[in-house]
Structure formats: C-alpha cells, structure tokens
Amino acid sequence: MQSPHLFGYFLALMAAVSWAVAPVLYRRGVDRISYSGLGALRCNGYIISAALFLFLTMGPSAFVPLPAVTMVKIFACSVLWLVVGDFFYFSSLHKLGVSISVPVTSSYPLMVVPAAWIFLGEPAKPMVLVAAALIVAGLVLLSPHKQGREGKRQVLGGLAASFLTMSCWTFGMITNKVLMQTIPVPQLEWWRSVSITLGSWVLFYLLERCRGAGSIPRGPMVEMALAGALGLTVGNLFMTYAFGLAPVDALVCIVSIRPFLAALFATLFLGEKLTPRLAGGIVLVFIGVMTITF
C-alpha cells in the first residue's frame, strides 16, 4: 500500500476523532447557555483557527475580500449549513444525548447521495436502497423509549431537529462542492468562518439578546471555542486533504466510525449509557452509510 494512501487514511481517522470530540464539548456547553449562544461562542475557536490556517498557507494577501457575488454566495450557503443546521443539531444533542443524536445525524449521506444525483449529475447507486433499509432499522433501535407524554414529546422533538439538521447539512455539502471548484480551500474556509461568526451572533442577538454570554466561566468558554475549532476547522481540513491522497469510498468508511467514537467519549466523559440496543442501532447506521459507497 502506498504511503500517500496511508497518510490519507490517517487524516480521515483524525477527522473522525475531531468530529467525535466536538459534540461531547457541545453537549457540555448546551447545559450552560442556549443553542444560539453556543453557536455564537464556539465561533471564537473557529474564526481564529481558520485565520491562522489561511495565513500559514496563502499569506496575508489572501485575506483580501473576494468579489461581492462570491461573498454573498458563501455567506448564504454557510449560514444555512452551519448556523441554522447546527442550531438544530444542538437541539438534537440536548434532547437525545450524544450517543443517540450523533448516529442519527450521521445518516445524512442518505440525503446527500440522492441530492448529488439531482443537482451535481453524479451517477445513481442502486445500493442506496439497501443502505436506506439498514439506516432506518438502525434509527428504530436508536429511538429511545421514554415513558410519559413529556418524554415522548422530547424524543419526537429531538428526531425532528435531527431531520432538519441533516437537511441543512445536505444543502451545505452540495453547495460547498460547487464553491470548492472556484475558490481555494483555505480562503473558502476563512470566509465561511467569517460568515458563520456574523450569522451566529446575529441569530444569538435576535433570539436571546446575547443573554448569558458574559456569565460563562473561562473554562466552559475555552471548551466551546475548542469545540468550534475541532468541529468546524480541524476536522473539515483533515478530510479535505485526505480526499487528495486516498480513495473517497475508503475515506468515508473510516470516517463512519465517528458514531462509535462519539458514543465512547459520551460514555467516558458524560456518563451516558451505551446499551446493547443503542450499540446495535449504531452498527446498522454504520453499515448503511458504508453501503452507500459501494
């Protein structure tokens, strides 16, 4: 096996780890501040890490604004993808917990692949039907059986938030692939971070008037910033550069271990219980996502 492939697999593994650690930190943060507040505060880590990466790779001249039409496209697509989408994601994490929310939202390839057929002209894959059956079976197992009307309402709200999350992420990934064809990755990541930071703080102000931001202790504030850097900059960059070194299908399989890692981290650091039923659901979702690549 060629060494570039091995390095690509390593980058994909590091992306999976980054994306698995981030929701654990998000889940801790959402207990201290609202969903919109968490979305805004995490941008401290996102915009700093994106700026540092652009400076190191392309230099100070790369910070010059892009054409106005391009900037509007980046802003609109980024806000729907990672401001609105992650707002629903935080809601899902809060209502369902990391062990359930991450596997459920990780089934987003089931929406991305058909969208790629329709909007990008990529070839259709019949195995998606098999993948759909596996993922749906996994989601059934992942659905928690809480007693009482309030518990059921919380579960339904969490699943609805997960569906809205996947819809926004699907839109973002399709438009991101289009934008990557004309904009260098470091610049795209920088202007996306600017767009998401502005959009997140505007949303926080409109919904909450920025209440509670000043009362967050330094430790949780650092955790939120670290979660933003890991989930939005580091993980994305690991995966972007992995695509240039190894086959996409193999990389997707490696990244698909994210739900297992997230469940493990949630068990270790949040005290969530990983029951055999939940483990079975994660396995089915994992197999279903991998089947899409065949």
pLDDT in tens, 69-123: 999 999 999 999 999 999 999 999 999 888 889 888 888 777 877 887 888 787 7
Residue carrying structure tokens 């190894």: 246
CA atoms in the 13 A half-sphere facing the CB of 150 = 0
228-285, pLDDT tens digit by residue? 999 999 998 898 888 778 766 567 667 778 888 888 899 888 988 878 888 888 888 8
126 vs 90, more confident:
90
Which of the listed ranges 70-74, 168-172, 220-224 does the model predict with the highest average pLDDT? 70-74
CA distance 292 to 264: 24
Put residue 246 in one of left, alpha, beta given phi > 0 → left and psi -120 to 50 → alpha. beta
The pLDDT of residue 146: 55
CA dihedral sign of residues 102, 104, 107, 108: negative
Other CB atoms within 10 A of residue 193 CB = 25
Inform me whether the pLDDT recorded for 148 exceeds 80.
no
The pLDDT of residue 292: 66
CA distance 33 to 101: 19
Inform me whether the pLDDT recorded for 152 exceeds 90.
no
CA distance 214 to 230: 23
CA distance 282 to 49: 31
Q: Give the chain's mean pLDDT.
A: 86
Residue 221 CA from chain centroid, whole number = 20
Q: Are 114 and 132 in contact (CB under 8 A)?
A: no
Inform me whether the pLDDT recorded for 178 exceeds 50.
yes
The pLDDT of residue 77: 94
